[in-house]
Amino acid sequence: MANITVLGAGTWGLGIAVLLNNNGHRVTVWSAVAREIDALIEKREPANLPGVTLSEAIRLTKDLDEALSGADLLVMAVASVYVRRTARLISEKVAPGTLIVNVAKGIEEGTLLFPREQIVQEIPQAEVAVLSGPSHAEEVSRGIPTTCVIGAEKKATAERLQEIFMSPVFRVYTSPDILGIELGGSVKNVIALSAGIADGLGYGDNTKAALITRGMAEISRLGKAMGAKHQTLSGLSGIGDLIVTCASMHSRNRRAGILLGQGATMEEAMEKVGMVVEGVYSARAALALSRKYKVEMPIVAEVNQILFEGKPAGEAMKDLMLRHKKDESEDLPWEGEQE
């Protein structure tokens, strides 16, 4: 049994708290947003997790010192745009060697760093791992079978976290490719916006399959340039997470995309979704990475134009369809021709 503090009381933080409590661990949930904790204390039924009731064994607190006291493991479950701020807030209170597992997915626009990299910068004395994969909180909190991957620098750390998180309804694999895990989990949110936009435009399954497939090609090209492993991007935190985020109505990125496709502005879409839409915050950074590594990412580029330049969604889709002609896989030779 471990003493675990979950930092963040959003849907994913609470979903993980439920999972870890059911696994027999002592769980504390902290939030910097006092009203979130007050609402949960008053009624232990999270508004965004219908049908879920938090066990009385899960401790809820607004006091950071109380939350961190005696914790064997910290789970960073705030939205990606708040990761650095939260890491900086707790940095001086974290003992050397403390294990932190990040579950946020995103890219910091100014630095182009992933959440784990931000935590390492702010809390250099900690050991930081990541957990990612196709895992909507709405399903994890209800015990629906889910599979994820833990990424860590040390195999022993990954295996320790695997033991903590794994259950009959939550299978966990391990991987040393932290970069690939975070890259897949972050950029897929931008591609999911495009899938939602296609839905909002009234397009069908053919369009969505094309966006998922070509979106994965964009992620893979960037991953190769950055040094991520192909196996990772072909796995749970790559294509697995991309599929579930593009296809599910649990996905706030897809829901925001639907609204964009129907003509809403970026601000209107985010307001209607009512939660942080990670893809909006990662879109510019993903585009900046594509330029930094000289990788062509046309879907990411068109999503940016829709979000920040007011380009009509239908026009963006037409431009994607009418891009210059090319082979699907440029490294495959034609019979009778030299490579």
Residue 133: closest CA among 154, 111, 162:
162
Single out the catalytic residue among 93, 188, 208, 326: 188
Rounded CA-CA distance 275/99 in Å is 28
Q: Which residues of 67-90 are buried (b: 16+ CB within 10 A; e: fewer)?
A: bbeebebbbbbbbbbbbbebbeeb
End-to-end CA distance of the chain: 57
Phi (first) and psi of residue 258, to 5 degrees? -55, -45
Question: Which region, left, alpha or beta, applies to residue 5 given φ > 0 means left and ψ of -120 to 50 means alpha?
Answer: beta
CA distances from 117 to 121, 127, 189, 266, 281 (A): 6, 11, 19, 28, 17
Residue 188 designated active-site: yes
DSSP, collapsed to helix, strand or coil, labels residue 254 as helix
Give the residue numbers marked as catalytic: 188
